[in-house]
Amino acid sequence: MHKTKNDISEKVRVQVAGLLQERLSDAVDLVTHAKQAHWNVKGPAFIALHQLFDQVYEHAGDYADLLAERIIQLGGTVEATARVVAKQSQLPEYPLQIASGREHVEALSRSLAYFGSVVRQGIDRSDEMGDKGTADIFTEISRAVDKDLWFVEAHLQAER
Protein backbone atom coordinates (compact mmCIF):
# COMPACT_ATOMS: atom_id res chain seq x y z
CA MET A 1 0.00 0.00 0.00
CA HIS A 2 1.11 3.52 -0.76
CA LYS A 3 1.14 6.06 2.03
CA THR A 4 -1.93 8.28 2.20
CA LYS A 5 -3.52 10.65 4.66
CA ASN A 6 -6.83 8.83 4.13
CA ASP A 7 -8.16 8.16 7.63
CA ILE A 8 -9.43 4.66 6.85
CA SER A 9 -7.13 2.22 8.63
CA GLU A 10 -4.53 0.47 6.51
CA LYS A 11 -6.00 -2.91 7.45
CA VAL A 12 -9.40 -1.87 6.08
CA ARG A 13 -7.86 -0.24 3.01
CA VAL A 14 -5.98 -3.45 2.18
CA GLN A 15 -9.15 -5.54 2.52
CA VAL A 16 -11.31 -3.15 0.52
CA ALA A 17 -8.66 -2.76 -2.19
CA GLY A 18 -8.66 -6.55 -2.56
CA LEU A 19 -12.44 -6.58 -2.95
CA LEU A 20 -12.25 -3.74 -5.46
CA GLN A 21 -9.56 -5.59 -7.41
CA GLU A 22 -11.83 -8.64 -7.73
CA ARG A 23 -14.68 -6.53 -9.09
CA LEU A 24 -12.29 -4.58 -11.32
CA SER A 25 -11.26 -7.81 -13.04
CA ASP A 26 -14.92 -8.64 -13.56
CA ALA A 27 -15.62 -5.15 -14.94
CA VAL A 28 -12.72 -5.28 -17.40
CA ASP A 29 -13.90 -8.72 -18.51
CA LEU A 30 -17.42 -7.31 -18.92
CA VAL A 31 -15.91 -4.72 -21.28
CA THR A 32 -14.64 -7.58 -23.46
CA HIS A 33 -17.99 -9.40 -23.33
CA ALA A 34 -19.81 -6.30 -24.56
CA LYS A 35 -17.35 -5.78 -27.41
CA GLN A 36 -17.54 -9.47 -28.36
CA ALA A 37 -21.30 -9.06 -28.69
CA HIS A 38 -20.97 -5.71 -30.48
CA TRP A 39 -18.58 -7.05 -33.11
CA ASN A 40 -20.34 -10.36 -33.78
CA VAL A 41 -24.09 -9.74 -33.55
CA LYS A 42 -26.13 -10.58 -36.66
CA GLY A 43 -29.81 -10.54 -37.52
CA PRO A 44 -32.83 -8.30 -38.05
CA ALA A 45 -32.15 -6.20 -34.92
CA PHE A 46 -28.49 -5.78 -35.85
CA ILE A 47 -28.17 -2.00 -35.70
CA ALA A 48 -30.15 -1.61 -32.47
CA LEU A 49 -28.16 -4.34 -30.72
CA HIS A 50 -24.85 -3.25 -32.22
CA GLN A 51 -25.40 0.24 -30.76
CA LEU A 52 -26.76 -1.05 -27.45
CA PHE A 53 -23.81 -3.39 -26.94
CA ASP A 54 -21.46 -0.47 -27.62
CA GLN A 55 -23.22 1.52 -24.88
CA VAL A 56 -22.82 -1.40 -22.46
CA TYR A 57 -19.13 -1.48 -23.42
CA GLU A 58 -18.75 2.22 -22.62
CA HIS A 59 -20.58 1.85 -19.31
CA ALA A 60 -18.49 -1.18 -18.30
CA GLY A 61 -15.38 0.89 -18.96
CA ASP A 62 -16.79 3.58 -16.66
CA TYR A 63 -17.39 0.95 -13.94
CA ALA A 64 -13.83 -0.28 -14.30
CA ASP A 65 -12.53 3.27 -14.03
CA LEU A 66 -14.51 3.96 -10.84
CA LEU A 67 -13.23 0.75 -9.25
CA ALA A 68 -9.62 1.31 -10.30
CA GLU A 69 -9.58 4.90 -9.11
CA ARG A 70 -10.96 3.86 -5.72
CA ILE A 71 -8.14 1.31 -5.36
CA ILE A 72 -5.66 4.12 -5.97
CA GLN A 73 -7.47 6.48 -3.58
CA LEU A 74 -7.06 3.86 -0.84
CA GLY A 75 -3.34 3.55 -1.52
CA GLY A 76 -3.46 0.36 -3.55
CA THR A 77 -2.03 -0.57 -6.92
CA VAL A 78 -4.33 -1.49 -9.78
CA GLU A 79 -3.68 -4.78 -11.56
CA ALA A 80 -5.70 -4.93 -14.75
CA THR A 81 -3.63 -6.33 -17.60
CA ALA A 82 -5.35 -8.82 -19.86
CA ARG A 83 -3.47 -11.71 -18.23
CA VAL A 84 -4.37 -10.64 -14.70
CA VAL A 85 -8.00 -10.11 -15.62
CA ALA A 86 -8.16 -13.51 -17.35
CA LYS A 87 -6.94 -15.19 -14.15
CA GLN A 88 -9.10 -13.19 -11.74
CA SER A 89 -12.43 -12.63 -13.49
CA GLN A 90 -15.31 -14.67 -12.17
CA LEU A 91 -17.72 -13.78 -14.98
CA PRO A 92 -19.17 -16.73 -16.85
CA GLU A 93 -17.23 -17.46 -20.04
CA TYR A 94 -18.68 -15.65 -23.05
CA PRO A 95 -19.57 -18.04 -25.88
CA LEU A 96 -17.42 -17.24 -28.91
CA GLN A 97 -19.31 -19.05 -31.68
CA ILE A 98 -22.68 -17.32 -31.40
CA ALA A 99 -24.05 -14.84 -33.92
CA SER A 100 -27.78 -14.16 -33.56
CA GLY A 101 -29.05 -11.18 -31.68
CA ARG A 102 -31.02 -13.43 -29.34
CA GLU A 103 -27.92 -15.49 -28.48
CA HIS A 104 -25.87 -12.37 -27.74
CA VAL A 105 -28.69 -10.84 -25.69
CA GLU A 106 -28.85 -14.05 -23.63
CA ALA A 107 -25.08 -14.20 -23.15
CA LEU A 108 -24.56 -10.53 -22.35
CA SER A 109 -27.55 -10.41 -20.02
CA ARG A 110 -26.06 -13.39 -18.15
CA SER A 111 -22.78 -11.50 -17.77
CA LEU A 112 -24.52 -8.31 -16.65
CA ALA A 113 -26.70 -10.18 -14.14
CA TYR A 114 -23.69 -11.90 -12.62
CA PHE A 115 -21.72 -8.66 -12.42
CA GLY A 116 -24.70 -6.89 -10.83
CA SER A 117 -24.98 -9.66 -8.24
CA VAL A 118 -21.33 -9.52 -7.15
CA VAL A 119 -21.38 -5.71 -7.12
CA ARG A 120 -24.37 -5.81 -4.75
CA GLN A 121 -22.45 -8.20 -2.52
CA GLY A 122 -19.64 -5.63 -2.58
CA ILE A 123 -22.00 -2.99 -1.17
CA ASP A 124 -22.56 -5.04 1.98
CA ARG A 125 -18.99 -6.33 2.26
CA SER A 126 -17.35 -2.91 1.99
CA ASP A 127 -19.88 -1.42 4.42
CA GLU A 128 -19.17 -4.22 6.90
CA MET A 129 -15.44 -3.53 6.49
CA GLY A 130 -16.08 0.10 7.44
CA ASP A 131 -15.75 1.84 4.07
CA LYS A 132 -19.02 3.56 3.25
CA GLY A 133 -17.39 5.46 0.37
CA THR A 134 -16.64 2.23 -1.46
CA ALA A 135 -20.12 0.93 -0.60
CA ASP A 136 -21.49 4.06 -2.27
CA ILE A 137 -19.40 3.42 -5.41
CA PHE A 138 -20.71 -0.14 -5.54
CA THR A 139 -24.26 1.21 -5.12
CA GLU A 140 -23.75 3.63 -8.02
CA ILE A 141 -22.44 0.83 -10.23
CA SER A 142 -25.26 -1.50 -9.16
CA ARG A 143 -27.94 0.96 -10.27
CA ALA A 144 -26.23 1.50 -13.62
CA VAL A 145 -25.70 -2.24 -14.26
CA ASP A 146 -29.36 -2.87 -13.48
CA LYS A 147 -30.27 -0.29 -16.13
CA ASP A 148 -27.94 -1.90 -18.67
CA LEU A 149 -29.45 -5.29 -17.89
CA TRP A 150 -32.95 -3.88 -18.35
CA PHE A 151 -32.06 -2.44 -21.78
CA VAL A 152 -30.47 -5.71 -22.93
CA GLU A 153 -33.17 -8.02 -21.52
CA ALA A 154 -35.94 -5.90 -23.07
CA HIS A 155 -34.99 -7.54 -26.37
CA LEU A 156 -36.20 -10.89 -24.97
CA GLN A 157 -39.12 -9.91 -22.80
CA ALA A 158 -41.61 -9.20 -25.59
CA GLU A 159 -41.45 -12.88 -26.56
CA ARG A 160 -43.26 -14.28 -23.55
Q: What is the pLDDT of residues 84-104, one digit of tens each?
A: 999 999 999 999 999 999 999
Domain extents in the chain: 10-157
Q: Is the pLDDT of residue 1 over 90?
A: no
Question: Is residue 3's pLDDT more than 90?
Answer: no
CATH of domain 10-157: 1.20.1260.10
Between the CA atoms of 111, 113, 114 and 116, what dihedral angle is there, to the nearest 10 degrees? Answer: 120
- Decide if pLDDT at 160 tops 80: no
Is the CB of residue 101 less than 8 Å from the CB of residue 41? Answer: yes
Give CA 156 to chain center in angstroms.
21
What is the pLDDT at residue 159? Answer: 60
- Check residue 42 and report its DSSP letter: B
Average pLDDT over residues 29-39: 98
Please give the C-alpha separations between residue 115 and each of 2, 17, 47, in angstroms, as whole numbers: 28, 18, 25
pLDDT at 158: 72
Sign of the Cα pseudo-torsion (82, 69, 52, 148, in order): positive
C-alpha 70/C-alpha 18 separation (Å) is 11
Q: Mind listing the pLDDT tens digit for each residue in 55-75?
A: 999 999 999 999 999 999 999
122: amino acid identity, one letter: G
pLDDT exceeds 90 at position 148:
yes
The arithmetic mean of pLDDT across residues 130-150, rounded, is: 98
Q: Is the pTM of this model over 0.85?
A: yes
Question: Residue 60, Cα to own-chain centre: how many angstroms?
Answer: 5
